[in-house]
């Protein structure tokens, strides 16, 4: 198989974890005779420093000409005081929009060996296997106006939560399709008791559900969902929700597994290319120290192999290697538990590589 992959390391720990994931990708390529042609490009604060914009046109072109995209993370305190359009996070919002990546998939599975690293009790999290499908190109992060303004003669600010019906429908359809491949339950999360966009969201979810009689649909208000995720996470299979609710709930779901450093994600469009990235940020507090957990990014590569290239066997081999390495007790600092061996980023990558 011959595939072009755009690689966007970004800022902070981004380059460290992406280097590890690329190594694993290359090992898979060598062992199973696939040609992965990598093109590196800039995004985020490093791109602003070099070119004045966090998402140069060249990066968009490279991504559009690729079969899949691997991204590290963007951001850092040194760029916080820049005007909005130069800030690293704008690069992220813009690439999602430019590639129409409307559905962000964030699976959370509980590794048995990591159950002790979770702040929750073992019997609550053992066996958790859920996926958050977050709408990614609409809602309050993109609505206009979004600005400082004057309200009733007093200074204030406004953001706008808006959705076209078709934007709601396509992401809910995606969630139902995914549920068909799993245990066939969709929980649609909204705030229909307060928000008009949520009432429309709920109507559309009910309409889509009619096309999937084999899948069970339930509705849940977002505040209750936040509570249920901690109280009884095993009740969930596929959670589908709008952009901001999904942002918050998927970070919450990540603590179930013990660390942000374990969670991979993929962002899908109608026609591709899809984008793969860890759900965590650029972790400026530990950047450059070779201690970041590379597993979320490595697992993002396995998602890429499965969803973009249909290489199910190779994807499973990476996942099994990660599981074995954890079972052997190798831990980066964020997932450290009693009786385990502390390893650096590069040592963790090397262990997974050897296991493959």
Tokens of 134: 């977050």
Q: Are 87 and 52 in contact (CB under 8 A)?
A: no
> Cβ 281 to ligand NAI, closest distance in Å?
2
Is residue 190 part of the annotated active site? The answer reads no
Q: Does 247 bind Mg ion (CB under 5 A)?
A: yes
Tokens of 178: 């995914």
> Cβ 280 to ligand NAI, closest distance in Å?
3
Q: Are 70 and 41 in contact (CB under 8 A)?
A: no
> Cβ 334 to ligand NAI, closest distance in Å?
4
d(CA 318, CA 331): 17
Please identify which of the residues 49, 129, 159, 251 carries the catalytic annotation.
251
Of residues 47 and 168, the one with the C-beta less far from ligand NAI? 47
Please identify which of the residues 191, 212, 237, 330 carries the catalytic annotation.
191
Q: Does 277 bind Mg ion (CB under 5 A)?
A: no
Q: Does 237 bind Mg ion (CB under 5 A)?
A: no
> Cβ 71 to ligand NAI, closest distance in Å?
7
Of residues 179 and 296, the one with the C-beta less far from ligand NAI? 296
Is residue 276 part of the annotated active site? The answer reads no
292 contact, one of ligand NAI, Mg ion, none, CB 5-8 Å limit per kind: ligand NAI
Q: Are 48 and 14 in contact (CB under 8 A)?
A: no
Please identify which of the residues 32, 80, 223, 312 carries the catalytic annotation.
223
Integer CA distances (angstroms), 81 to 16, 46, 76, in order: 25, 15, 10
> What is the chain's percent helix, strand, coil content, to nearest 5?
45, 25, 30
Integer CA distances (angstroms), 167 to 20, 134, 164, 170, 208, in order: 35, 12, 5, 6, 13
247 contact, one of ligand NAI, Mg ion, none, CB 5-8 Å limit per kind: Mg ion
Of residues 201 and 245, the one with the C-beta less far from Mg ion? 245
Of residues 190 and 247, the one with the C-beta less far from Mg ion? 247
d(CA 146, CA 142): 8
Is residue 251 part of the annotated active site? The answer reads yes
d(CA 59, CA 39): 10
> Cβ 29 to ligand NAI, closest distance in Å?
24
> Cβ 75 to ligand NAI, closest distance in Å?
2
List contacts with ligand NAI (CB under 6 A). 13, 17, 73-76, 89, 92, 260-261, 277, 280-286, 292-293, 296, 334
d(CA 240, CA 268): 14
d(CA 239, CA 205): 12
Of residues 214 and 285, the one with the C-beta less far from Mg ion? 285
CA gyration radius, the chain? 20
Please identify which of the residues 23, 67, 141, 174 carries the catalytic annotation.
141
- State the angle between helix axes of 345-355 and 312-327 in degrees (0 to 180), rounded to the nearest 10: 120
89 contact, one of Mg ion, ligand NAI, none, CB 5-8 Å limit per kind: ligand NAI
* Cα 15–chain centre separation: 17
Of residues 21 and 253, the one with the C-beta less far from Mg ion? 253
Q: How many CB atoms lie within 10 A of CB 97?
A: 16
Candidates 6-14, 70-78, 103-111, 239-247; binding stretch for Mg ion (CB under 5 A): 239-247
Which residues are catalytic, by number? Answer: 141, 191, 223, 247, 251
Residues forming the site for Mg ion (CB under 5 A): 247
């Amino acid at each position: 198989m011959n595939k072009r992959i755009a690689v966007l390391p970004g800022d902070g720990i981004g380059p460290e974890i992406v280097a590890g994931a690329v190594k694993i990708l290359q090992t898979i390529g060598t062992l199973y005779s696939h040609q992965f042609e990598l093109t590196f490009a800039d995004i985020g604060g490093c791109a602003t420093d070099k070119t004045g914009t966090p998402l140069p046109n060249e990066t968009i072109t490279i991504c559009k000409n690729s079969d899949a995209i691997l991204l590290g993370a963007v951001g850092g305190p040194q760029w916080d005081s820049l005007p909005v359009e130069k800030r690293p996070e704008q690069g992220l919002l813009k690439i999602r929009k430019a590639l129409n990546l409307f559905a962000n998939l964030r699976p959370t599975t509980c590794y048995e060996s990591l159950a002790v690293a979770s702040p929750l009790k073992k019997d609550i999290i053992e066996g958790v296997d859920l996926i958050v499908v977050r709408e990614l190109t609409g809602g309050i992060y993109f609505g206009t106006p979004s600005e400082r303004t004057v309200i009733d003669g007093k200074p204030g600010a406004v953001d706008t939560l808006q959705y076209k019906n078709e934007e709601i429908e396509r992401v809910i359809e995606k969630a139902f399709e995914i549920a068909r491949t799993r245990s066939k339950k969709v929980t649609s999360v909204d705030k229909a008791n307060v928000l008009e966009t949520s009432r429309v969201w709920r109507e559309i979810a009910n309409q889509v559900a009619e096309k999937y009689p084999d899948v069970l649909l339930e509705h849940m208000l977002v505040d209750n969902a936040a509570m249920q995720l901690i109280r009884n996470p095993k009740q969930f299979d596929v959670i589908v929700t709008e952009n901001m609710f999904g942002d918050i709930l998927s970070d919450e779901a990540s603590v179930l597994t013990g660390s942000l450093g374990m969670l991979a994600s993929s962002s899908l469009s109608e026609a591709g290319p899809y984008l793969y990235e860890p759900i965590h940020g650029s972790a400026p507090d530990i950047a450059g120290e070779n201690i970041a957990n590379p597993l979320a990014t490595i697992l993002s590569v396995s998602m890429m192999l499965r969803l973009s290239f249909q290489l199910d066997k190779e994807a499973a081999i990476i996942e099994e290697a990660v599981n074995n390495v954890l079972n052997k007790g190798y831990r980066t600092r964020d997932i450290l538990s009693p009786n385990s061996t502390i390893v650096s980023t590069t040592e963790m990558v090397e262990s997974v590589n050897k296991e493959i």
